[in-house]
Amino acid sequence: MARVTLRKLVKNYEETPAVRGIDLDIADKEFVVLVGPSGCGKSTTLRMIAGLEDITGGEVLIGDEVVNDMPPKDRDIAMVFQNYALYPHMTVYENMSFGLRLKKVDKAEIAKRVENAARILDISELLQRKPKQLSGGQRQRVAMGRAIVRDPKVFLFDEPLSNLDAKLRVQMRTEIKKVHQKVRTTTVYVTHDQVEAMTLADRVVVMNGGVIEQVGTPNDLYHFPATRFVAGFIGSPAMNFIPCRLEVAGGGLAARLSPEIAFPVPHAREARYRPYLDSGNLLFGLRPEHIVEQRPHAESDQHAFEVPLEVTEPMGMETLVYFEIGGVEVCGRVNPNAGAQSGHRMKLVADLANMHLIDAASGKVL
């Protein structure tokens, strides 16, 4: 078990920067997920931790040891890849034990570790099968088992679920979380899927353009994003962003979104937002789940408004509604029994306790 530390880590491909001097501390036994769009530097960062990519600048520490020049085999890490990389001519048992056999580990110890890992992953009955006899989910469990038996200091996962179908991805997410609860090993996991990141991680690292935008718990990133990028990347459907201006209204402040619609700023936010009264470059941010149908009893900081609906998308447990404010498409989430119909007007409520005000120029959440 060990912590992982990145100090001013840089990776350039010739003149093209991929990772731009990131700092990150991953605690012992912590499950950290690196998430971001394609090309953000997350997989490159993981491969530098593993020793599969040369480091242009900075340091990688595993425990208290700088491992920049240490070959991958000596770093005491185990990696699970996007493709399972199983030997087709070997049984599951042989695949899982292969690394231990190369290290000349005692046969009894190998059997003990493989059987223990198989029990954790619920693949004990598959140990004598060949990979071609397994489903995609079973092969991914074998790949995880091969990593577990090595008892490494650090697990590294590189988009391990991206080859699976949607239902199996959900199932395997749960399995990976269960495994981490049983085998408390420091884990660094890379994905482009923000749902995977939110459901698996102790902390999420959101990357964009080779830099870290924000590090925090899933709850922190969802409720307290630091930048527009994080606010828009975390959550599905994505947060709504509407150009606005702040104005004085009734002794308080209001966010003017259009000639017809202005939302009162919660009293708790007024002092924070007042310096931006004269700013002409603000965005109002609110998640779809904080725009719902009007209900009999409104809570404080909930503001009703009425708009014509352009599109409705019934999803079973909810209905997504789309409408325009100030020429910008906005999404809300309403009860399927709320009577939402395309082309009809509907009374909605905005939960302003969850609003965000963003400086459009810098992208910072105010």
What are the Cα distances from residue 48, in Å, to 32, 51, 277, 301? Answer: 16, 5, 46, 47
The pLDDT assigned to 1 comes to 63
- For the chain, the average pLDDT equals 92
Confidence of residue 245 (pLDDT cuts 50, 70, 90): very high
Q: Is 157 exposed, middle or buried (0-12, 13-18, 19+ CB in 10 A)?
A: buried
Domain edges within the chain: 4-227, 240-359
Over the stretch 65-123, which tens digit does the pLDDT of each residue have? Answer: 999 999 998 999 999 887 778 899 999 999 999 989 988 999 999 999 999 889 888 89
72: preceding bond cis by omega (within 30 degrees): no
Measure Cα distances from 151 to 117, 144, 232 in Å.
10, 11, 38
Tell which wins on pLDDT, 172 or 303.
303
CATH match of 4-227 with 3.40.50.300: yes
Q: Does domain 240-359 have CATH number 3.40.1190.20?
A: no
pLDDT tens across 294-320, in order?
Answer: 988 777 889 999 999 999 999 999 999
For residue 45, pLDDT over 70 is answered with yes
Percent of the chain with pLDDT over 90: 73
